[in-house]
Amino acid sequence: MTFLRKTFVCTVLISIAALGTACSGRLVFAADDLDKVLAKLDDAAKAFTSAQADIKWDNTQTQPVLDTDSQVGTVIFARGKDGQMQVAVHIKTDNGKPVLKDLSYTGGVGKMYDPAIKQIQVFKVGDKGNQLQSFLTLGFGGSGQDLKKNWDITPAGTEAVNGTQAVKLQLVPRDPAMAKSAPKVILWIDPDKGVAVKQQRFDSGGNYVVFTYSNIQLNKKVPSSAFEIKTASGTQVVNH
């Protein structure tokens, strides 16, 4: 599971270190439908302050052998005073077993805390901040215009995700550096709320991670302490 653990850390922290069940139901998706979806994202971005949801993600390693890894928890997205996105993830289960871990990203620093081994890993973004924000705002707080600016968009029909008939978009990064670590992303958008209900990210080796969001609550007040991780005495700090 070494590769999967690395993938998990990088993708949940939105590839800081690497920078790097849906029912079929495809429908005809015209160009003007894409314009409507992007316009809805523009409207949602103007009103966006925060989003809270349950999250399930499945990591899939395709090479050298097929392997999967699954985590379940909750996630919080909130726009900070500086306009940058902050994220906090609280893990509850790992492959069906109870596990408690906390992850956060705020102020250019990502953290992952594992209380079971009393260790916190710290990732500094540095000059990758703009690339990171492109990932952080995918489906939560990002405008349609930003999506068009940063990604080549291909409509891929509609598909039911947790009872929502979502618009499916295939995205390819315009930034060559970003494309090396994440050459393709598939996004499922709730056309009424203008937020993501599912996301799939591929790496250059064909491995991928799928995030599925449910019980989404928008624009509720989020205290700044939500992005702080409290550690036990004696916790080891590992800087990357």
Judged against a pLDDT cut of 70, whether residue 25 lies above it is answered with: no
Judged against a pLDDT cut of 60, whether residue 18 lies above it is answered with: no
Interval 90-103: pLDDT, tens: 999 999 999 999 99
- 127 — pLDDT class (breaks 50, 70, 90): confident
pLDDT of residue 32: 61
Distance CA 84, CA 80 (A): 5
For 10-26, b/e burial (b = at least 16 CB within 10 A) is: bbbbbbbbbbbebeeee
79 φ/ψ sector (left φ>0, alpha ψ -120 to 50, else beta):
beta
Interval 144-181: pLDDT, tens: 999 999 999 999 999 999 999 999 999 999 989 888 88
* Mean pLDDT, all residues of the chain: 85
pLDDT of residue 130: 73
- 29 — pLDDT class (breaks 50, 70, 90): very low
Architecture of domain 2-20+23-239: Clam (2.50)
16 or 210, which is more confident: 210
The DSSP symbol for 22 reads P
Distance CA 85, CA 106 (A): 7
Over residues 14-38, mean pLDDT: 51
Q: pLDDT above 90 covers what percent of the chain?
A: 64
Residue with tokens 């790992």: 94
- CA–CA distances in Å: residue 200 to residues 131, 186, 239: 17, 5, 28
Q: What is the per-residue DSSP string for 83-124?
A: S-EEEEEEEEEETTEEEEEEEEEETTEEEEEETTTTEEEEEE
pLDDT of residue 30: 52
pLDDT of residue 125: 80
Interval 228-239: pLDDT, tens: 999 999 999 999
Judged against a pLDDT cut of 70, whether residue 26 lies above it is answered with: no
Is residue 81 classed exposed, middle or buried when 0-12, 13-18 and 19+ CB atoms within 10 A define those classes?
exposed
Over residues 127-136, mean pLDDT: 76
CA atoms within 13 A on the CB side of 167: 25
Q: pLDDT above 70 covers what percent of the chain?
A: 86
The DSSP symbol for 128 reads G
Interval 174-204: pLDDT, tens: 989 888 888 999 999 999 999 999 999 999 8
